[in-house]
């Protein structure tokens, strides 16, 4: 499979830190190796990745908004649903995964990947069709968080949800509907899969029907909904904090 160009300082630094195979790193001539660039060069050296200095005009042709550095990398390596569940078991934690229903904006996906990695979810599930995958633009938009997160693509999201149910996960969709309960009232402590819908359309009817529960964010202003990445990130962070509080209470009761 041919290599692709990844770009952006944080994306390349995190790829190096994660051990993502890189063929070589390109640095624009005249860029002082300070801050993040200095750490990139140190990581490349420690991992034996060749560094090539090129004219900035060449780099402009290779990648947009490159921040003076880009790299040749293999296309993103997707994981499996089984791999995510295995990680949860290894950590001794109830599974916590995120599903995205046909998200199409690279910046929304990058933002959600970044939040998901920050709160320690065990994996992210994307549909193969009508949805953006992990492209170089997403790698940059996530500030390199994709390199530290298990991500899989599935042919049918509804079937993946059914499989997760068979594994004991509770499927919770984020949807601003009258029958949904406010997100702070839900119990997130057990095996959990959160589902975020696409921009504008929200959850598809079949996906919504496969959810065990729906949660919504209360709205005080005139607009009827939040950006998919914003709403998903708020619920992800709240779910993580609620799970941490629950885990702390369990430890206290066990001691």
Instruction: Compute CA distances 9 → 120, 144, 150, 235, whole Å.
Output: 23, 9, 21, 29
CATH code of the domain covering residue 153: 3.40.1280.10
Q: Which of 73, 107, 134 is the last residue of a domain?
A: 73
In this structure, the answer to whether residues 86 and 59 fall within a common structural domain is no
Q: Count of domains in the chain?
A: 2
Mean pLDDT of 209-238: 89
The pTM of the full predicted model, rounded to 2 decimals, is: 0.90
Q: What percent of the chain has pLDDT over 90?
A: 73
20-72 residue pLDDT tens: 999 999 998 877 777 888 899 999 999 999 999 988 888 888 887 888 899 99
In this structure, the answer to whether residues 159 and 220 fall within a common structural domain is yes
pLDDT of residue 1: 63
| Phi, psi dihedrals of residue 200, rounded to the nearest 5° | 85, -55
In this structure, the answer to whether residues 9 and 93 fall within a common structural domain is no
In angstroms, rounded to a whole number, what is the distance separating the alpha carbons of residues 42 and 49? 10
153-206 residue pLDDT tens: 999 999 999 999 999 999 999 998 889 999 999 999 999 999 999 887 889 999
Strands (E), the chain: 4-7, 22-28, 51-54, 69-73, 96-100, 123-127, 151-154, 170-174, 181-182, 192-196, 213-216
Q: Which of 37, 54, 73 is the last residue of a domain?
A: 73
In this structure, the answer to whether residues 107 and 154 fall within a common structural domain is yes
Structural domain span for residue 32 = 4-73
Mean pLDDT of 229-246: 94
Using pLDDT thresholds of 50, 70 and 90, give the confidence band for residue 222: low
Helix (H, G, I), strand (E, B) or coil at 196: strand
Using pLDDT thresholds of 50, 70 and 90, give the confidence band for residue 13: very high
In this structure, the answer to whether residues 133 and 10 fall within a common structural domain is no
Q: Which of 47, 73, 99 is the last residue of a domain?
A: 73
């Amino acid at each position: 499979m041919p290599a692709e160009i990844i770009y952006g300082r944080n994306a390349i630094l995190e790829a190096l830190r994660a051990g993502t195979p890189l063929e070589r790193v390109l640095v624009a001539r005249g860029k002082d190796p300070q801050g993040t660039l200095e750490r990139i060069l140190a990581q490349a050296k420690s991992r034996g990745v060749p560094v090539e200095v090129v004219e900035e005009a060449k780099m402009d042709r290779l990648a947009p908004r490159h921040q003076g550095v880009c790299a040749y990398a293999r296309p993103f390596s997707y994981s499996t649903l089984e791999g995510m569940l295995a990680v949860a078991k290894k950590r001794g934690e109830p599974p916590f995964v995120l599903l995205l229903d046909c998200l199409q904006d690279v910046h929304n996906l990058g933002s959600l990947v970044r939040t998901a990695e920050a709160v320690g979810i065990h994996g992210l599930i994307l549909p193969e069709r009508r949805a953006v995958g992990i492209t170089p633009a997403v790698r940059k938009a996530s500030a390199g968080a994709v390199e530290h997160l298990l991500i899989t693509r599935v042919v049918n999201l509804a079937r993946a949800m059914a499989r997760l149910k068979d594994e004991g996960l509770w499927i919770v969709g984020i949807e601003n509907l009258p029958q949904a309960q406010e997100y702070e009232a839900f119990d997130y402590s057990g095996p959990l899969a959160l589902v975020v819908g696409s921009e504008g359309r929200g959850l598809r009817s079949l996906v919504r029907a496969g959810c065990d529960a729906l949660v919504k964010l209360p709205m005080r202003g005139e607009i009827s909904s939040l950006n998919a990445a914003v709403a998903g990130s708020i619920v992800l962070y709240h779910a993580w904090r609620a799970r941490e509080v629950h885990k702390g209470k369990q430890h206290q009761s066990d001691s």
